[in-house]
Amino acid sequence: MDSATLHRVRPDLVHAHTSGWSDAVPDPPLATDYMVQARSGLADALRTDPAEPPRPTLLTVLDSLGGMLGAEAVLAGLLHRAHTGRGSAVESSLLSAARLLSAPGAARGGPPPGGRPDPVRAPDGRWVT
């Protein structure tokens, strides 16, 4: 059921939806923490040596932060309901968590982190994007 259907039955409901990609990626692939780190450019933003290739952190930072953002969104929805009596629909995603972590670097200027615009041959001969 979508939030509109639920709100017709229960207008004061705070409905939360969490996902990997939100609606930002058409026909999204499986969203794991590491996949989103790579595709969002966070793996590139986290590296400390520009000579090294981008690589995701082994910590599942997006799983943790995405969940915390979802919980914070629910709390904001509950506060909104306490003030207005109306419910709301809130959402969080791994991609929104990656964007939040990438924001300070983007604010410094320069090109935003992200995937390569063209495929690259990996050492094992396969092509990656």
- pLDDT tens digits along 13-36: 999 999 999 887 788 888 999 999
CA distance 4 to 11: 9
pLDDT value of residue 10: 96
Give the residue among 90, 91, 92, 85 at the shortest CA–CA distance from 10. Answer: 85
CA distance 11 to 84: 11
Instruction: Specify the CATH number for the domain of residue 50.
Output: 3.40.50.10540
**Structural domain contains residue 125:** no
**Structural domain contains residue 122:** no
Helix or strand (DSSP H, E) at 72: helix 61-84
**Structural domain contains residue 102:** yes
With cut-offs at 50, 70 and 90, classify the pLDDT of residue 118: low
- pLDDT tens digits along 47-67: 778 788 888 888 899 999 999
